[in-house]
């Protein structure tokens, strides 16, 4: 009898005395997951090794009848090989000694699909070539500026553009509200993301907005296996759609909406009957698949 009580006490200590996991982790159900608030909080604090949260937002101020990505530029570049890029501003004061932006950080993927980050000093209207070649770029923001920003003075003087080397295709822009003479926003608005190699990501939330009295159609796409560069390729496939959207629509779920594996492009594209301003947001929980 004493041995039985001793064994029961050991089990009790193991379960409730600190040996069991302190966090209720993800419970998988055929590609989706039930995710607790406590687990998300621990991930946000950096307490869960191999896990991180992504908050993506994008905007396109002139969506028309042609389907296009919800990004400031109307593009999300998806080449099959990593590309040499350069960065410049439309204003000479966005310079390492100027009043505007001085350094910019570019975040994306290399040729293997691993996330890479490069911080670069910009040189006004003169293009500066990045050291790394990029397969994808899904975020860019100003890290240093020559002005202490206020509600009336921004951290940049002009539109900052990331493009292919030697005046090539535009990849991303850090825009200015109202374009000329407006207020710099300090970072890109790209309503797309690509899952880095070694991670699976769970879609937790979507928010979509169309400017007043207009109607738009929004489509959320995925394409897996982005580093497969010979036919047959993996399909660019619709995940879900929202037809005739007016105003704001938000979708949240206690379980993930869906799961995307490593090396998958995901993001919004939209169209509208008349030129419309559209903005989107989505949140991901990403976990190491090893």
pLDDT tens digits for 132-145?
A: 999 999 999 999 99
- List where CATH 2.60.120.1330 sits in the chain: 27-73+192-288
What is the per-residue pLDDT for 189?
98
What is the per-residue pLDDT for 256?
76
Residue 77 has pLDDT above 80, yes or no: yes
pLDDT category of residue 17 using cuts at 50, 70 and 90: very low
Residue 244 has pLDDT above 80, yes or no: yes
Question: pLDDT, tens digit, for every residue of 23-36?
Answer: 344 444 444 567 88
pLDDT category of residue 21 using cuts at 50, 70 and 90: very low
Residue 7 has pLDDT above 80, yes or no: no
CA angle 118, 282, 69 (to 5 degrees): 75
What is the per-residue pLDDT for 233?
95
What is the rounded average pLDDT for all residues in the chain?
89
Q: Work out the average pLDDT over 149-158.
A: 93
pTM of the entire structure?
A: 0.87
How is 19-36 classified by DSSP, letter by letter? -S-SS---EEETTEEE--
What is the per-residue pLDDT for 254?
64
What is the per-residue pLDDT for 132?
98
* Cα–Cα distance list, 114 to 36, 49, 80, 109, 155 (Å): 28, 17, 14, 5, 30
Residue 162 has pLDDT above 60, yes or no: yes
What is the per-residue pLDDT for 181?
65
Rounded to an integer, what distance in angstroms lies between the CA atom of residue 178 and that of residue 118?
28
Residue 62 has pLDDT above 60, yes or no: yes
| Sheet (strand 83-89) strand order | 128-134, 83-89, 160-164, 170-174
- Its CATH architecture, for the domain 27-73+192-288, is Sandwich (2.60)
Question: pLDDT, tens digit, for every residue of 80-108?
Answer: 999 999 999 999 999 999 999 999 999 99
The single-letter DSSP state of residue 196 is P
What is the per-residue pLDDT for 29?
41
Residue 53 has pLDDT above 80, yes or no: yes
Question: pLDDT, tens digit, for every residue of 179-218?
Answer: 556 899 999 999 999 999 999 999 999 999 999 889 999 9
Q: Work out the average pLDDT over 108-119.
A: 98
């Amino acid at each position: 009898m004493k041995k039985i009580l001793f064994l029961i006490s050991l089990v009790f200590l193991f379960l409730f005395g600190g040996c069991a996991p302190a966090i209720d982790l993800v419970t998988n159900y055929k590609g989706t997951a039930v995710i607790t608030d406590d687990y998300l909080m621990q991930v946000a604090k950096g307490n869960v090794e191999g896990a991180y949260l992504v908050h993506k937002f994008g905007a396109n101020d002139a969506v028309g009848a042609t389907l296009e990505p919800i990004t400031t530029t109307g593009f999300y570049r998806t080449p099959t090989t990593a590309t040499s890029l350069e960065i410049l501003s439309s204003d000479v004061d966005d310079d390492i000694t100027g009043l505007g932006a001085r350094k910019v950080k570019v975040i994306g993927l290399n040729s293997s699909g691993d996330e890479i980050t490069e911080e670069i000093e910009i040189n006004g209207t003169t293009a500066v070539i990045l050291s790394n070649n990029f397969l994808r770029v899904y975020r860019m923001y100003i890290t240093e500026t020559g002005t202490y920003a206020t509600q009336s003075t921004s951290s940049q003087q002009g539109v900052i553009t990331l493009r292919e080397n030697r005046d090539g295709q535009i990849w991303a822009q850090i825009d200015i509200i109202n374009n000329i003479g407006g207020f710099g926003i300090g970072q890109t608005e790209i309503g797309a993301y690509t899952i880095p190699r070694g991670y699976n990501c769970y879609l937790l939330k979507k928010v979509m907005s169309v400017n007043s009295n207009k109607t738009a159609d929004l489509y959320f796409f995925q394409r897996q296996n982005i580093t497969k560069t010979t036919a047959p390729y993996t399909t660019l496939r619709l995940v879900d759609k929202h037809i005739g959207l007016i105003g704001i629509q938000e979708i949240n779920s206690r379980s993930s909406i869906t799961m995307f594996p490593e090396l998958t492009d995901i993001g919004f594209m939209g169209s509208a009957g008349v030129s419309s301003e559209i903005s989107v947001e989505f949140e991901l929980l990403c976990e190491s698949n090893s």
